A and B are shown apart, each in its own frame.
Chain A
Amino acid sequence: MKRFIAILLAFVLMTAMSFSSLAAVNAAQVSMALNFQGTTAMCSATILDPNKYINATLELWWGTTLIDSWPGSGTTSVSISGSHAVVHGRTYTLKVTGTIGGASINVDPIEKYFA
């Protein structure tokens, strides 16, 4: 029984990794930064994809609450920045959403704890 559970667990793990690797994404370069200065969160992102129309929004979340967002759009290159007051002891998440050439932007968010 134990052997069966171990094999099943390994199989589930391998399958999950394969699917995460195969997730469809756009061809682009995206950089993001979440930095705390005093009690302000400094958020920025740059998105680059030659000759593609980029329509993006930079979002700052606290848990499931969207606390601020900053839009940006353009062809080939878009840089977005914004700031928002933050509270000590909370974890904030920075996300980039939107589309590049009509396809969804699929990048991992940044999570950071404000000590």
Chain B
Amino acid sequence: MSAESMTEKVFEQGVMIAHERWMKAVEPYMEQDFAFSAGFEGKMRRLIRSQELRRLAAQAVRAAAIVLFALITGVSVWLSFDVEARADMLMWVRDIYANKIVYRFTNDKPETDTLPLYELSWMPEGFECIDSMTNEVIYYKCFSNEETGDIIAFEYASFYDGIKLSLLDDVPIVSEKVTIGKFIGDYYLASETSDLNNLVWIDEDRNMIFVISSTCDKNTILMCAGSIETIER
């Protein structure tokens, strides 16, 4: 047994003896009404208040620690996806992983909504359509230049829950902000493992996502994007 625990034991025994003696001493006065002085009652109130404050402070420290932990965890998760992730209305979110970018959408599609018709009114000469698909929510056309081997793909979709766009690479994807008319888009540069540059922008007013993917240079892609025209059905 250590000296410290022995001291505690002796102290506890002493307190018990003092308690018993005190109780014996005050026993004759137990039945009597006793009015404490104002000063004593004030001291007791202050003591009770300080004990209560200590308890509240301990609770506050515990709550702050929980909030801090949740905050650190939340921020870590947030940063691992995208510091610019749009979550204000949660209509669309862009998840950025090390080598994958995923655009996903959460809003419901109105039954009556139909896909507007857009076309590229300009592209470099020599390109011919090699693949296309149009349905209720997606429009896709891929053009190829046989001589140069370049491709330009134009795709847009009404963004609703059930649409997902993934840009994949073997290496981290590098992007920069670009302006397309009144929109700010993201230009994803081709890496050493891919010849494909991707330009993505979103028209929130019309719930549309636009993508131009091409092996051509940035200027050509931006000129294609700037030439988009609405076609009347």
Contacts and interface: CB of A to CB of B under 8 A. Distances in A.
Interface string A3-46: 00010001001100100111111111111111111000010101
A97 interface: no
Nearest to B135: A44
A69 interface: no
Contacts of B195: 50-51
Main secondary structure of the interface of A (DSSP, over half): strand
Interface stretch (B9-17, B31-39, B162-170): B162-170
Interface string B132-163: 11011110101010000101010101001111
Interface string B192-207: 0111101000000000
B138 A48 contact: no
B115 to A, nearest CB: 11
Given A21-B98, A29-B168, A31-B165, A76 B142 contact: yes
B161 A112 contact: yes
Contacts of B211: 29, 31
A101 to B, nearest CB: 10
A79 interface: yes
B157 A110 contact: no
Interface stretch (B53-61, B73-81, B83-91, B119-127): B73-81
B97 A48 contact: no
Contacts of A29: 153, 165-168, 196, 198, 211, 213
B100 interface: yes
Interface residues of B, number: 48
Interface string B17-60: 00000000000000000000000000000000000000000000
B162 A25 contact: no
A78 interface: yes
Given A25-B100, A25-B170, A27-B196, A76 B163 contact: no
Given A14-B76, A76-B130, A26 B138 contact: no
A10 B72 CA distance: 10
A21 B168 CA distance: 12
A17 B97 CA distance: 9
A24 to B, nearest CB: 7
Instruction: Give the one of B99, B160, B162, B193 with max A CB within 10 A.
Output: B162
Nearest to B76: A14
A32 B151 contact: no
Interface in A59-90: 74, 76-79, 81
B149 A51 contact: yes
Given A14-B76, A27-B194, A81 B166 contact: no
A99 interface: no
A76 B151 contact: yes
B170 A33 contact: no
A108 B164 contact: yes
Interface of B: 69, 72-73, 76-77, 80, 97-100, 102, 109, 130-133, 135-138, 140, 142, 144, 149, 151, 153, 155, 157, 160-170, 191, 193-196, 198, 211, 213, 215
**A-B pairs, 6 with minimum CB distance:** A27-B194, A79-B133, A77-B142, A77-B131, A21-B98, A25-B168
